[in-house]
């Protein structure tokens, strides 16, 4: 227990450049205060003491703006940054060294009994205002972009953005936990591809306009015809790649 509390305390200095002193962290960081009260409530909850754990949780919510059900399972080194509006449900599980920003909800999708809240892996980052709902699994090292809504399982080492959340792959690029501005914009990418497709179709329509029969194709026109044919082949290949990106977006890219 003491080792876990020390890890919760130290991780703040690693994750937050604004942390200046241990006194400031202890008295001015609601995320740490909420975790301290949660761990007390969770210990009492685990030995089936009634009422008191929920009362402690309610007091913590009043003092910090962070609501953590005492039945949730939270690993060591979890950092709740700022934390106002964070809600963590009864059967939620959060792995070690995860980072949670303000306004995050780890909630359920109905009134079913049993496991009804998300399971979060280790080193997961959940951006501000994100909602992770239902009995779903998020693998290790997952990044959830700010404002995203995640409703399905996410494999390890993926980045999820959008509403509903969609996986976007960042091959060869590691996104720092605090660099939410580096997350890709899947919606903007697909819109750009669709606009490019419209422009290409307009060019094709213009090329298909009838040519007067009196004009004969010269050698220069023949050369241009071959160039256009080669360009059209490259265009078809490009369209195939674009189609795949658009289809993945519409299908949710696994999410």
CATH number of the domain residue 90 falls in: 2.160.10.10
Residues 192 and 170 in one domain: no
Confidence of residue 39 (pLDDT cuts 50, 70, 90): very high
**198 and 232 both lie in a single domain:** yes
- The string of pLDDT tens digits covering residues 128-187 is 999 999 999 999 999 998 899 999 899 888 888 888 888 776 544 555 555 555 555 566
**Tens digit of each residue's pLDDT (9 = 90 or more) over 222-237:** 555 555 555 555 555 5
- Mark whether 219 and 103 lie in a shared domain: no
Domain boundary (135, 163, 182) is at 182
- Asked if 64 and 146 sit in the same domain, the reply is yes
Mean pLDDT, the chain, rounded, equals 81
Nearest alpha-carbon partner for 105 in 140, 142, 141, 67: 67
Is 66 found in the same domain as 6? yes
Number of domains composing the chain: 2
Domain hosting 56: range is 2-182
Task: State which of 166, 182, 198 marks the end of a domain.
Answer: 182
Query: Is the domain of 173 the same as that of 196?
Result: no
Q: List, in sequence order, every beta strand (DSSP E) within the chain.
A: 67-68, 73-74, 79-80, 87-88, 93-94, 99-100, 105-107, 119-120, 125-126, 131-133, 137-138, 143-144, 149-150, 159-161, 166-168
pTM of the model: 0.70
Mean pLDDT calculated for residue range 72-98: 93
| Structure-model confidence comparison of residues 164 and 93, the more confident one | 93
Are 105 and 126 contained in the same domain?
A: yes
Question: What pLDDT score was predicted for residue 68?
Answer: 96
Please state the rounded mean pLDDT for residues 57-77. 94
């Amino acid at each position: 227990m003491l080792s876990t509390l020390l890890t919760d305390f130290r991780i703040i200095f690693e994750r937050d450049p604004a942390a200046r002193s241990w006194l400031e962290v202890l008295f001015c960081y609601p995320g740490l205060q909420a975790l301290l009260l949660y761990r007390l409530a969770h210990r009492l909850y685990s030995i089936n003491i009634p009422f008191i754990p929920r009362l402690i949780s309610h007091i913590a919510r009043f003092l910090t703006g962070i609501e953590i059900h005492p039945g949730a399972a939270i690993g060591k080194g979890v950092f709740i940054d700022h934390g106002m509006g964070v809600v963590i449900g009864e059967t939620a599980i959060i792995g070690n060294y995860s980072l949670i920003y303000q306004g995050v909800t780890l909630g359920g999708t109905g009134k079913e009994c049993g496991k009804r809240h998300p399971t979060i892996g280790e080193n997961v980052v959940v951006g501000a205002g994100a909602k992770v709902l239902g009995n779903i699994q998020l693998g290790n090292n997952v990044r959830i972009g700010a404002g995203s809504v995640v409703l399905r399982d996410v494999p390890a080492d993926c980045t999820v953005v959008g509403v509903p959340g969609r996986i976007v792959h960042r091959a060869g690029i590691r996104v720092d936990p605090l660099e939410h501005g580096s997350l890709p914009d899947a919606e903007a990418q697909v819109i750009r591809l669709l606009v490019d497709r419209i422009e290409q179709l307009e060019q094709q329509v213009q090329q298909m306009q009838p040519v007067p029969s009196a004009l004969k194709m010269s050698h220069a026109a023949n050369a241009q015809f071959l160039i256009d044919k080669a360009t059209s082949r490259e265009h078809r290949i490009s369209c195939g790649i674009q189609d795949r990106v658009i289809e993945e977006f519409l299908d949710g890219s696994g999410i």
